[in-house]
Structure 1
């Protein structure tokens, strides 16, 4: 190694240590002038010697290349959301359910719930290689270049290990104030709150913009098996992240009782405004990984964790009017038009009134002064009127008899409180239905949002789902703010959506009561749209989790002649109508996975967890998140932790990934 190489390594080490002391430990050991002098020296050497630029060099935090777009990233381990609790009674109920499952001796770990953007960071051999957003929990977006600009994210860990960590990227309050002051001076619209500012910064295609926003991060966990790195509890795992030079939030507390948890929650509810960052609640987790495994997961969230949401801020303003909107299923929803007021970090001018019965129950009148809040700090809603402020000029509100958009008669379906427009050609329903059809979890046609749908409908280019597939670039170029590249990308996205599996199309139809799970069950059972449309009610009811409401909704939907016509046009355009997975009939009656409960643990190197799960279920297996006496088989990858130990203790059959691959190749 020559003297220049030695100097580069020395500068890299010094700058990394100085950066860690400043951004991670909050204990600066060098002045800004000293740091800048060393950085300039390193930049000069690298400019003359590009071969000496290392991936983890401090100079590589902000690259000079503007990204063309964000690529999709499939998470090795799903980024699940948390269930919410809102009061002390809810917290005690969470504690009761936990103890019912794992016994009385439970410890909890409480952490501040940072109000930011969830991110996942991957390190290989101790080096930061990829960062992504949560996305839909299964697939996110690659924002590595932007995350590298966050100086509290180390480019190199203190250990040369492979690890995936999860956390929350956020904008400190001081950074938020400075950013909005600069935007105001430039004549740009200010960000509504630090969370929106952080999310907007990390989705900039130019990393230099993200780098100028002074973001920060707190890491709160390890992706996958928490015990895979030798820890028995979540609190130990957080301590381990600290040792790796990853930034965790040290305001956390291990609580031995639910009383300690409630005391922690109340104390931070009173002093959260003292922090230099926004929090919107407290995350409560069962500390023991063994207990976590026993509790397991629901489809959307872990049973061993929940998020306490701070009570919503309430403010008073005047209700100026009540407007009506028509949703994609025909539901007519009243919305309060308010004298704009600041609440929970944003200016609110509209709030939901839900339905006519609620308006009458609360006796809300046009002209009233009303109390409003944000449900879950997100959705504005009217709590009720201030009756003592009435002058006598307030006007009671009654719902109209006809649809405010198409003038068709509104109906109230038995057992429901909402009024509905049942005209299938109602323009409002059609537009809302189109927005749902192109959404991420449905047909996932990128580039078509509410604004584009509105333009397409106004220009009479699209009236139903099928019309999307007849669009041309020339037609799209007529739309406002639609350039050639955007039009070309949109046509490509529409064409790509033709290849989606049936469950995406079925969910995209927006049939009442048919969510993503029901769409998948129905697609797997019948294999094709024709098969589903020809099914008798008895066949639908025979499917586990498909009840009378879903059956009636499906029967009603497919008996509509307009729907049948649209489906035929979709077929003519070449839209796939078949399920691309293995149907229920194709699942074998015999085989190594049929009827067996399987648990995946450790790190798989050939398949992702999602791929392994899909293949096992296609061969008749049921993949579970925790090991118990009912488990038949455990697939153990690298660094398998307590799940493997428990399987061995219970005498459960254990395979490595190589054996799984061998069996899958034989069976498929």
Structure 2
């Protein structure tokens, strides 16, 4: 197989070849970096990596988690001990231009309900590897990589070799975790590369990847030979605060002996941008690579109020430098079928080095994007479509995501054939439907084959066992595809019945008695998954990790959630109601007024146009024009309204939709999933083998834990966003509207219909001062 032409490989053969190459390259990396005893020449090594890169370029959906393209000379991560971060090491949201930076300042000011912007710090963003250093009673006791943000690798011995990192410190809190970046200066990197080149050894791509690979060497003696350095920029767990502000806290770290990259304060967005421009102008003069400027709210008290959203803090953002651009050739357009049936076009590029890496493929989003139509329906790339063979300009947005930003519009481009988006699924041949309207998220092409489409079935299973879902070790895409083709695993429940095939499995190539035992043990270890992981693993559209977590905290047990879903399915809106929702000019208020008035409306009384329309408060002539345009005549419009009233969503559906963080789109997709018999049948079979754990109730000692709270009106001492975040952090459930299940309404000035609903249902109402006291 290793000699077979890449363009002749099937997907199955390519997956097998990538597995072989990953293992072989990792072995040679270990020999070269860990033992300094290479078995092959650099040319032979480069041949292996080039073949791996070329296969990944042709099959971008087969890129492995252990792909050589995702690491530089690093040993397998399982060789290091794991470190659970006491305080998660979260990533930062990105700003890509001045408007994004201004928006960040405005969001912070609005969230905190401040009259003027708070003081914000600015510091260079080092292009290095994040690390956490733990000190206890002044002694360096443990060092770790960021890993997935919650669990990293124990690289204490390697970090001890870095001269910038003190082994002992005086005057620090009893427990101090210093956070920062391990990096290599540009001159030192160039010197090391020149030395390797002179010795005939492999050279490295950039300082950041080199530092990452070296820090994760199994032998700390190897790490010690490299000129690694460290900058501090923050902290994790503390036994006592360092100071009251970000600026003063990092200055204290500097006094304790930790190097800083430099930090300044700004009073507003324009001062921040002036610092950004100053750092950008001097970028080349820095001794190390930087890729932007990090902004952080200075006051630690305000940081605490701002809190976090998903995987990043609200109080910080990384303003990235503009992406480097290069030209290359669009050599092909392939169609990938995702686990939800979406057809995603992927552009195959002639390999080009841009933004520090070699880019070989790029996502082309959808058919409209290829035709040069943007998400808002307007033209992109100057109205130039993409055609195979075009010369294109490529950049990496934020130095991360490759994208095509322009096309050379020449005579050759005009002679090339336009790309025809497939009307049938390239995997199963089913009809391809187009979903959503232009001007929203763009038109999505989706295979209608569902679970009958092998691409979707396999991808759903791969998603189910993935690290962020059930995280079943030893069961990756290759194994899922193999077991699917054998007929052993067609749905998630089959994974937990794999033991029935133990004897057959041990006879297959690559499976010994020990590996089979380990695999089955890994599966058994996931029979009681976390609620949120289990829900996320089901692959329901729009139910990502964050939304799954919101739902788990809201319902707390799988049984309660399933019961709520069954009730929501029965209470879901009918087609007539959904038709009314789509009428232009009829918003939520007008729709509610129409449904309330529907029983008294008589179609025969209105025979003409909108000028003869019923007088209903909240329903304008524009709304009636929209209704007549949608349904034909006034009698037909009134008939449609009366039908919609009978098919309006019931309270159980509305209760799901009201959950803060769920909303109507996710609620619709949850109900779609639980209303399909093949889904619920498969789920019943799965639950015979798996028992999701109850979600631990957060902050159970607080006075509001477990309560369902609605905020309405204008809050004067904090914004509603901040109040909601505070309520959730205390274990409460936040809803968007009032119902009989609401426990408490917090009302500020201007509270309207929600206050009336609270009185109707007998729900307790308090003001903002009472809420602040209650939530202390």
Q: TM-score, normalised to structure 1's length?
A: 0.72
Distance 2:482 2:525 in 1: 22
Classify 1:264/1:389 alpha carbon distance in 2 versus 1 (closer, same or farther; 3 Å): farther
Partner of 1:542: 655
Q: Deviations over 1:355-413 (max 9, x none)?
A: 10111124111111111111221111111211036365422101011111111111112
User: Is 1:358 aligned to residue 369 of structure 2?
Assistant: yes
For 1:115 and 1:483, locate their aligned partners in 2 and report how far apart those are by CA, in whole Å.
Answer: 43
**Partner residue, 1:505:** 534
The equivalent of 1:85 in structure 2 is 95
Mapping 1:258-657, distance limit 5 Å: 258-361=269-372, 362-388=384-410, 390=412, 392-415=414-437, 417-423=443-449, 424-457=451-484, 461-471=488-498, 487-523=516-552, 524-525=554-555, 527-528=557-558, 530-531=562-563, 533-537=565-569, 538-543=651-656, 544-545=659-660, 546-572=662-688, 574-582=689-697, 617=730
TM-aligned CA deviation for residue 337 of structure 1? 1.2
Measured in 2, the distance between the counterparts of 1:615 and 1:387 equals 53
Inter-CA distance 165–486: structure 2 relative to 1 (3 Å threshold)? farther
* 1:518–1:299 Cα change, 3 Å: closer
Q: Distance in 1 between matches of 2:235 and 2:284?
A: 29
Deviation, 1:470, is 3.1
Distance 1:106 1:525, change over 3 A: closer
Shift of the 552–254 alpha-carbon distance from structure 1 to 2, 3 Å rule, reads: closer
In structure 1, what is the Cα distance between the partners aligned to 2:685 and 2:506? 24
1:553–1:386 distance in 2 versus 1, CA, 3 Å = same
| 1:108 match | 120
Relative distance call for 1:351 and 1:232 in structure 2 (3 A) is: same
1:117 aligns with 2:232: no
The TM-score normalised by the length of structure 2 is: 0.62
State the distance in 1 between where 2:357 and 2:120 align.
Answer: 33
Does the C-alpha gap of structure 1 residues 445 and 395 become closer, same or farther in structure 2, counting only changes over 3 Å?
same
Counterpart secondary structure, 1:128: strand
Q: 1:99 to 1:262 in 2, by over 3 A?
A: same
The secondary structure found in structure 2 opposite 1:223 is strand
Native 8 Å contact 2:703 2:775 kept in 1: no
Contact 2:109 2:118 in 1 (8 A): yes
Say yes or no: does 1:135 pair with 2:147.
yes
Q: CA deviation at 1:558?
A: 3.0
Further displaced range: 389-398 or 508-517: 389-398
1:119, 1:166 within 8 Å by CA — same for their partners in 2? Answer: yes
Could you say if the C-alpha distance between residues 476 and 367 of structure 1 is closer, same or farther in structure 2, counting changes exceeding 3 Å? Answer: same
Contact (CA 8 Å) 2:465, 2:472: kept in 1 or not? yes
Q: CA deviation at 1:331?
A: 0.8
Contact 1:145 1:207 in 2 (8 A): yes
SS state of the match for residue 284, structure 2? helix
Q: 1:136-195, CA deviations, whole angstroms, 9 ceiling, x for partnerless residues?
A: 333334333333333322221133632112112234445555666788899997655433
| 1:365 alignment partner, SS class | coil
Aligned residues: 543
Larger displacement relative to structure 2 (496-505 or 530-539) = 530-539
User: Which runs of 5 or more residues in structure 2 are unaligned?
Assistant: 1-74, 373-383, 570-650, 710-725, 735-745, 747-770
In structure 1, what is the Cα distance between the partners aligned to 2:320 and 2:130?
17
Task: Report the Cα offset of residue 314 of structure 1.
Answer: 1.2
1:541–1:547 Cα contact (<8 Å) kept: no
- Going from structure 1 to structure 2, the CA distance change for 1:99 and 1:341 (only over 3 Å counts) comes to same
Q: Aligned partners of 1:184, 1:531: CA distance in 2, in Å?
A: 66
SS at match of 2:140: strand
Whole-angstrom distance in 1 between the partners of 2:301 and 2:556: 39
Any idea what the Cα deviations from partners look like across 1:242-289, whole Å, max 9, x if unmatched? Answer: 111122213x33334433321221232233233343221110122233
Q: CA deviation at 1:427?
A: 2.2
Aligned mates of 1:88, 1:616 — CA distance in 2 = 32
User: Which secondary structure does the structure 1 equivalent of 2:470 belong to?
Assistant: coil
The RMSD of aligned alpha carbons is 3.9
Distance change (3 Å), C-alpha of 1:367 and 1:327: same
CA positional deviation for 1:352: 1.4
CA distance in 1, matches of 2:516, 2:188: 37
Q: Quote the Cα distance in structure 1 between the aligned partners of 2:176 and 2:302.
A: 23
Q: Does the 8 A contact of 1:281 with 1:309 survive in 2?
A: yes
* Alpha-carbon distance between aligned partners in 1 of 2:244 and 2:452, rounded to the nearest angstrom: 59
Residue 199 (1) aligns with residue 312 (2): no
**Per-residue deviation, 1:310:** 0.8
SS at match of 2:252: helix
Query: 2:229 aligns to what?
Result: 216
Contact kept in structure 2, 1:133 and 1:141, CA below 8 Å: yes
Deviates more, 1:539-548 or 1:575-584: 575-584
Q: Is 1:364–1:384's contact at 8 Å kept on the other side of the alignment?
A: no
Q: How many Å apart are 1:345 and its aligned residue?
A: 0.9
Tell me the alpha carbon deviations over residues 564-588 of structure 1, each in whole angstroms, 9 at most, x when there is no partner. 443244234x21145353599xx89
1:71-90 CA distance string (max 9 Å, x none): 44332223232222111122
Secondary structure of the residue aligned to 1:228 is: coil
C-alpha distance in structure 2 between counterparts of 1:390 and 1:67, whole Å:
48
Secondary structure in structure 2 of the residue aligned to 1:131: strand
Q: 1:309 to 1:126 in 2, by over 3 A?
A: same
Larger Rg: 2
Which ranges in structure 1 are unaligned for 5 or more consecutive residues? 1-64, 598-612, 623-629, 631-649, 656-668
